[in-house]
């Protein structure tokens, strides 16, 4: 019987993409770039590489501190990488956008007696600020953040830390819900944990592993979790 649900945050419950786009657009304009779309593409390409390295076990802080310096250099701009990273963290910390329907989903799951937890990669202060500011904090009994644990999804040790603090949690009564195949689904698979891929864009799965289940909206997700 299902008792625990571990939720990813970004683009699973919180609309990270919207906040990221707004924050990056602001910063690119501030530092004098005129072709914003090109700037976003260059940053996103490098940022994807950065998070791939982090998910493979690299030390996150040096990569995050230099991602703006490297991306902006490709755009012909010289900036202070760590300073821009701090500025960007401040902007992201005030990204309180939730995906429509997220609050109702959590309300229903909590009312059904499920214990809800957060399991997210990211910067601790930023993620905690967003959970609080979005109004989602009361739904979660515990919050686990990679920067605090010292290890990021998909490393099985991320999930080991969650289980260690919840002795009643088992592979049979717990499920991981997330939008990211590489971190959420692969991480849960490595931890021998049931998982649900939240895939609203109905993207193909190019990976050699398969999620336990796939949903494209919150109605499907709620049905799978409660039945």
Domain boundary among 93, 125, 156: 93
Per-residue pLDDT of the chain (227 residues; tens, 9 = 90+): 999 999 999 999 999 999 999 999 999 999 999 999 999 999 999 999 999 999 999 999 999 999 999 999 999 999 999 999 999 999 999 999 999 999 999 999 999 999 999 999 999 999 999 999 999 999 999 999 999 999 999 999 999 999 999 999 999 999 999 999 999 999 999 999 999 999 999 999 999 999 999 999 999 999 999 99
Domain with 25 in it:
16-93
Catalytic residue, candidates 10, 15, 179, 184:
10
pTM of the complete model beyond 0.85: yes
State the total domains in the chain.
2
Active site residue 10: yes
Please indicate, yes or no, whether residues 120 and 203 belong to a single structural domain of this protein.
Answer: yes
The span from the CA of 7 to the CA of 21, in Å, is: 23
Output the domain CATH number for residue 160. 3.40.50.1000
Please indicate, yes or no, whether residues 172 and 127 belong to a single structural domain of this protein.
Answer: yes
Domain boundary among 65, 93, 121: 93
Domain boundary among 93, 121, 144: 93
């Amino acid at each position: 019987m299902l008792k625990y649900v571990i939720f990813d945050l970004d683009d699973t419950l919180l609309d990270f993409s919207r906040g990221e786009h707004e924050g990056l657009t602001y910063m690119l304009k501030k530092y004098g770039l005129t072709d914003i779309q090109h700037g976003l593409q260059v940053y996103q390409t490098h940022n994807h590489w950065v998070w791939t390295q982090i998910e493979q076990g690299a030390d996150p802080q040096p990569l995050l501190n230099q991602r703006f310096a490297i991306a902006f250099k490709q755009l012909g701009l010289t900036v202070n990488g760590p300073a821009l990273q701090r500025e960007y963290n401040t902007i992201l910390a005030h990204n309180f956008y939730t995906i429509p329907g997220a609050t109702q989903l959590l309300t229903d799951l909590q009312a059904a007696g499920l214990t809800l937890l957060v399991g997210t990669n990211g910067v601790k202060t930023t993620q905690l600020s967003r959970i609080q500011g979005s109004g989602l904090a009361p739904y979660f009994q515990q919050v686990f953040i990679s920067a605090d644990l010292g290890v990021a999804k998909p490393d099985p040790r991320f999930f080991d830390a969650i289980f260690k603090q919840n002795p009643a949690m088992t592979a049979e009564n717990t499920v991981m819900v997330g939008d990211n195949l590489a971190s959420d689904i692969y991480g849960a698979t490595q931890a021998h944990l049931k998982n649900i891929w939240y895939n609203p864009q109905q993207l193909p799965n190019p990976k050699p592993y398969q999620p336990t289940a796939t949903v494209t909206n919150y109605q499907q997700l709620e049905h799978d979790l409660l039945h």
